[in-house]
Amino acid sequence: MKAIGKYLVIGLAILLSAWVLGKSYTYKYRTQDRIVVTGLGETEFTSDLIVWRGMVTAESSNVEQGYAQIEASKRKVSDYIAMRGIPAEAVVFEFVNVNKQYESIYANGNWAGQRFTGYRLTQGFTIESRDVEAVENISREISSLIAQGVSIEASQPDYYYTRLDDVKLGLIEKASADARIRADKIARNAGAKIGGVASARMGVFQITGANTNEEFSAGGSFNTSSRQKKARITMRVEYRVR
C-alpha cells in the first residue's frame, strides 16, 4: 500500500508540473499576442497670423542729423503702414542703435590704423497682425518706401497659426483612428480580432509648408516661411489580440 501511495504522489506531482508548465506557456504566448501599428494624421491649414520685421537706417557724420533722418523715415514707414489699414498698435518700433563707423588706413601697403567716418543709426520695427493679406502686400510693396528716400531693410514675413492646440488634438484623433483601421485589417487577415489598447505613443508633431519638399526633423519641424501649411503626427499603438 505504501508503494502504491508513493507512485500515486509521484504521478500527481508529474501531472501538476505539466499543468503548471502548460499554463506558463499559454500565459507567455498570450502576453506576446499583440499587434503594433503606426497611424498617421495629416491636415492642411492657412496661417492666421503674420509677423513682418524691418529696419530703417541712416548714416551721418553727425549724431543729431542721423536721429533726424531716422525720425523722418519712421514717420514715412508709419504713414505707409497706416494707409494700408494696419492700426498703429500692431506696429512696434525698437530703440535707436548708434554705431561709430571707421575705415582702415594704410601707409606703403601696411595697416596704419583707423579713421572715424561717421555714425550708422538703425531702428528696427515689427508688425504683428491677423490681417495676413494686408501685411503681405506691405512687405511686397516696400520699394515705394525706398522711392520716398527711406533707407530700409526687411526680411520675409513669418506665418503662424493661433489654434495649433486644436490642430494637434484633431491629428491625434485622426492618427489613432487610422491605427485602429490598420490593426483591424491585420487581425482580420490573420483570423483574429483586436482587443483593447496595450500602449500608445505619440510621434513628433511636424509642421511643414504645404506642397513643399521639406524634410521632417527628429525634433519636429515648425515652418514659419509658408502661409499654407501642413501638419502631421503619428501614433504608435499596440493592441491586444483576442
Q: 216-234 pLDDT, tens per residue?
A: 777 788 999 999 999 999 9
* Residue 234, pLDDT score: 95
* Residue 27, pLDDT score: 37
**Alpha-carbon torsion, ordered 101, 106, 110, 112, to 10 deg:** -60
Cell of 184: 483591424
State the average pLDDT over residues 139-159. Answer: 94
Q: 81-123 pLDDT, tens per residue?
A: 999 999 999 999 999 999 999 999 988 888 888 999 999 999 9
Q: 67-98: string of b/e by CB count within 10 Å (b at 16+)?
A: bebbeebbebbeebbeeeebeeebbeeeebee
Q: Using 50, 70 and 90 to split pLDDT, how confident is the model at 9? A: very low
Q: Using 50, 70 and 90 to split pLDDT, how confident is the model at 12? A: low
What is the C-alpha separation between 56 and 63, in angstroms, rounded? 15
Q: 15-38 pLDDT, tens per residue?
A: 455 444 444 433 333 445 889 999
Q: Using 50, 70 and 90 to split pLDDT, how confident is the model at 5? A: low
Selected from 3.30.70.2970, 1.10.10.60, 3.10.310.10, 2.40.110.10, the CATH number assigned to the domain covering 49-159 reads 3.30.70.2970
What is the C-alpha separation between 199 and 235, in angstroms, rounded? 10
Residue 39 clears pLDDT 90, i.e. is over it: yes
What is the C-alpha separation between 55 and 219, in angstroms, rounded? 32
What is the C-alpha separation between 6 and 85, in angstroms, rounded? 102
Burial, 150: exposed, middle or buried (Cβ in 10 Å; 0-12, 13-18, 19+)?
buried
The domain segmentation of the chain, as residue ranges, is 33-46+163-241, 49-159
Q: 203-212 pLDDT, tens per residue?
A: 999 999 998 8
Q: 134-148 pLDDT, tens per residue?
A: 999 999 999 999 999
Span between the terminal Cα atoms of the chain, in Å = 49
pTM: 0.78
State the average pLDDT over residues 59-85. Answer: 95
Q: Do residues 203 and 217 lie in contact, with contact meaning Cβ atoms separated by under 8 Å?
A: no
For the chain, what percent of residues have pLDDT higher than 70?
87
Higher-confidence residue: 226 or 190?
226
What is the C-alpha separation between 92 and 128, in angstroms, rounded? 9
Reply yes or no on domain 33-46+163-241 having CATH 3.30.110.170: yes
What is the C-alpha separation between 157 and 141, in angstroms, rounded? 13
